[in-house]
Amino acid sequence: MIQVFHNYNTVLNISKDKESLVVFKDLNISETIYKLAELYPSEFILWCHTELVSFINYEQIGTICNSNSEIISYSNSDENYISKNIGFVEQSIFINFSKEVKFATWQMSSGIGIAHSDVFSAVKNTIKPVKDFDYFLNSVAKIAMPLGVFCYSDPNLLRDSNKDFTFNHKINFTKLFKFVSEHYKKIWLLVLLVCLVFKKGKFPIFALFKSLFYSKINTEKVKIKDFHLLTTNDVKYSKDIDVLIPTIGRKEPLYNFLKNLSEQSILPKNVIIIEQNPIKDAASELDYLVNERWPFQIKHQLIYQLGACNARNLALKEIASDWVFFADDDIEIKSDFLEKCLENAKKYKQQVFSLSCLLRQEKKSFKTSFQWVSFGSGASFVNANAIKNLKFDSKYEFGFGEDADFGMQIRNNGNDIIYFPAPEIIHLKAPMGGFRTKVTRKWDNDLIEPKPSPTVMVYKLTYDSEEQLFAYKFMYFFKNYNFKNLKKPIKNHKTAISKWNRSVFWAQKLMQE
Which pLDDT score is estimated for 360?
92
Say if residue 160 is in the same domain as residue 303.
no
Does position 433 have pLDDT exceeding 60, yes or no?
Answer: no
Burial environment of residue 128 by CB neighbours within 10 A (0 to 12, 13 to 18, 19 or more):
middle
Say if residue 255 is in the same domain as residue 176.
no
The alpha helices in 363-453, defined as continuous H runs, are 402-412
- Residues 6 or more apart whose CB falls under 8 angstroms from that of 358 comprise 364, 424, 425, 426, 427
Which pLDDT score is estimated for 440?
83
Q: Is the dihedral of CA 302, 304, 307, 312 positive or negative?
A: negative
Per-chain mean pLDDT for the chain: 93
* Neighbouring C-beta atoms of residue 203, cutoff 10 Å: 12
- pLDDT cut 90: percent of the chain above it: 84
* Neighbouring C-beta atoms of residue 447, cutoff 10 Å: 6
Average pLDDT over residues 270-289: 95
Which pLDDT score is estimated for 480?
75
pLDDT tens digits along 145-163: 999 999 999 999 998 755 5
Q: What is the C-alpha separation between 114 and 1, in angstroms, rounded?
A: 9
Q: What is the C-alpha separation between 44 and 332, in angstroms, rounded?
A: 42
Say if residue 363 is in the same domain as residue 279.
yes
Say if residue 190 is in the same domain as residue 55.
yes
pTM value? 0.94
Average pLDDT over residues 391-414: 95
pLDDT band at 431 (very low <50, low <70, confident <90, very high): confident
Does position 482 have pLDDT exceeding 70, yes or no?
Answer: no
Average pLDDT over residues 112-124: 98
Which pLDDT score is estimated for 435?
47
Say if residue 202 is in the same domain as residue 253.
no
Say if residue 114 is in the same domain as residue 207.
yes
Window from 49-53, 74-78, 335-339 with minimum mean pLDDT: 74-78
Count of all residues that appear for the chain in the document: 513
Minimal CA–CA distance to 36: which of 65, 6, 64, 56? 6
CATH code, domain with 272: 3.90.550.10
Does position 121 have pLDDT exceeding 70, yes or no?
Answer: yes
Does position 166 have pLDDT exceeding 70, yes or no?
Answer: no
* Omega prior to 423 cis, within 30 of 0: yes
Say if residue 195 is in the same domain as residue 320.
no
DSSP per residue, 293-324: --SSEEEEEEES---HHHHHHHHHTT--SSEE
Average pLDDT over residues 369-392: 96
Domain boundary among 388, 408, 427: 427
User: Between the CA of residue 199 and those of 38, 135, 269, 297, 322, what are the distances in Å?
Assistant: 45, 25, 54, 57, 47
Say if residue 116 is in the same domain as residue 196.
yes
Residue 447 lies in a domain: no
Residue 293 lies in a domain: yes
Which pLDDT score is estimated for 479?
81
Residue 298 lies in a domain: yes
DSSP one-letter code for 213: T
pLDDT band at 420 (very low <50, low <70, confident <90, very high): very high
Say if residue 168 is in the same domain as residue 82.
yes
Average pLDDT over residues 438-459: 92
Q: List the domain range (segments joined by +) for residue 74.
A: 2-211
pLDDT tens digits along 88-107: 999 999 999 999 999 999 99
- The amino acid at residue 180 is V
Does position 112 have pLDDT exceeding 80, yes or no?
Answer: yes
- Angle, CA of 324, 326 and 332, to the nearest 5°: 115
Which pLDDT score is estimated for 436?
56
Say if residue 198 is in the same domain as residue 253.
no
Does position 10 have pLDDT exceeding 60, yes or no?
Answer: yes
pLDDT tens digits along 191-246: 999 999 999 999 999 999 999 999 999 999 999 999 998 876 666 789 999 999 99
Minimal CA–CA distance to 427: which of 362, 366, 339? 362
What Rg value do the Cα atoms of the chain yield, rounded?
Answer: 25
Residue 438 lies in a domain: no
Average pLDDT over residues 441-461: 94
Domain boundary among 392, 427, 462: 427
Q: How many domains does the chain have?
A: 3
pLDDT band at 16 (very low <50, low <70, confident <90, very high): very high
Which pLDDT score is estimated for 165?
64
284 against 493, higher pLDDT = 284
Residue 313: CA count within 13 A, CB half-sphere: 16
Which pLDDT score is estimated for 231?
75
Find the Cα–Cα–Cα–Cα dihedral 463, 466, 469, 471, rounded to 10°: -140
Residue 503 lies in a domain: yes
Window from 173-177, 333-337, 374-378 with minimum mean pLDDT: 374-378
Residue 223 lies in a domain: no
DSSP one-letter code for 229: B
Say if residue 276 is in the same domain as residue 199.
no
Average pLDDT over residues 460-472: 97
Which pLDDT score is estimated for 434?
46
Q: Are 45 and 72 in contact (CB under 8 A)?
A: no
Average pLDDT over residues 391-409: 95
Domain boundary among 166, 190, 211: 211
Say if residue 202 is in the same domain as residue 93.
yes
Residue 58 lies in a domain: yes
* Neighbouring C-beta atoms of residue 16, cutoff 10 Å: 15
